[in-house]
Structure 1
Amino acid sequence: MSATAINFQEKFSRFSEHWSPKVIAAMNDYQFKLVRLRGEFVWHQHADTDEVFIVIEGEMTLRFRDRDVLLRAGELYVVPKGVEHQPVAADECKVMLVEPKGVVNTGDAGGALTAQNDVWI
């Protein structure tokens, strides 16, 4: 158990790259990850798990094939497993992801935006 609280802004100050989630805490088999978003991510889905997006700062859109969901600071959205989605942020957006350990950020799509997994800051 940590002796101090985790400060999101302090953790965000440790990295500047986009689309590269960093683990800040774990609970059972789940990880809490911070990520900076800017631009368009790849369309993808996670066949075996839901994915939680919590906007810390800024705003983003989760695109789905049939609709868009706008998320602002202080809002959360759960993408159900197996649902194809595309995160998009016109300006930089700071987000916390909650997902099981080992989930690949690009899901089934792979490609150049696939980040190294299990990177702690």
Structure 2
Amino acid sequence: MEAINLKEKLDLFSDTWTPKIVGNVDDNHVYLAKLEGDFIWHAHDDQDEMFLVVDGRFRLDFRDREVWVEQGEMIVVPKGVEHKPYAPEICSVLIIEKADTDHTGGIDDPLRKENHERI
């Protein structure tokens, strides 16, 4: 049990849309990720997903609205809700979701990563 310095961990990588595992909470992974530009429309049928903005801001697009999430804010996307993250500039987020969650909701796309690196 050691403290995890999020800034130090974020300094270890620069790639976007590639979550890095920094811890576990029960059956959930705690990820850090950098977002920039558009991701893809997707949903997680059986898992909720939580985003906490560490640095910057991003927008979560839903089919019926858009929600900006600012530094220091968090949002939970309930299971089954289609969404698409968008960050106009680089944004760092902490994500908590079940360890077996496919981050594109099973959609085959070049942004899809099947194995996440632990840092």
Identify whether the pair has TM-score above 0.5, normalized to the shorter chain: yes
8 A contact 2:104–2:112 mirrored in 1: yes
Q: How many residues align?
A: 119
- Report the 3-state secondary structure (helix = DSSP H, G, I; strand = E; otherwise coil) of the residue aligned with 1:56: strand
C-alpha RMSD of the superposition: 0.9
- Report the 3-state secondary structure (helix = DSSP H, G, I; strand = E; otherwise coil) of the residue aligned with 2:8: helix
1:1-121 matches, cutoff 5 A: 2=1, 4-121=2-119
Question: Structure 1-normalised TM-score?
Answer: 0.95
Q: What is the CA-CA distance between 1:108 and the residue it aligns to? A: 3.1
- CA distance in 1 between partners of 2:91 and 2:115 (Å): 20
Question: Structure 2-normalised TM-score?
Answer: 0.96
Deviates more, 1:107-116 or 1:61-70: 107-116
Per-residue displacement from partner, 1:33-76 (whole Å, max 9, x unpaired)? 00000000000000010100100000000000000000000000
In structure 1, stretches of 5+ residues that fail to align are none
- CA distance in 1 between partners of 2:76 and 2:13 (Å): 25
- CA distance in 1 between partners of 2:100 and 2:12 (Å): 22
- CA distance in 2 between partners of 1:110 and 1:45 (Å): 13
In structure 2, stretches of 5+ residues that fail to align are none
Which 4+ runs in 1 deviate beyond 6 A? none
8 A contact 1:102–1:117 mirrored in 2: no
- Report the 3-state secondary structure (helix = DSSP H, G, I; strand = E; otherwise coil) of the residue aligned with 2:7: helix
Per-residue displacement from partner, 1:68-118 (whole Å, max 9, x unpaired)? 000000000000100000000000000010001121111132211001324
Deviates more, 1:82-91 or 1:107-116: 107-116
Q: Percent identity?
A: 42
- Report the 3-state secondary structure (helix = DSSP H, G, I; strand = E; otherwise coil) of the residue aligned with 2:31: strand
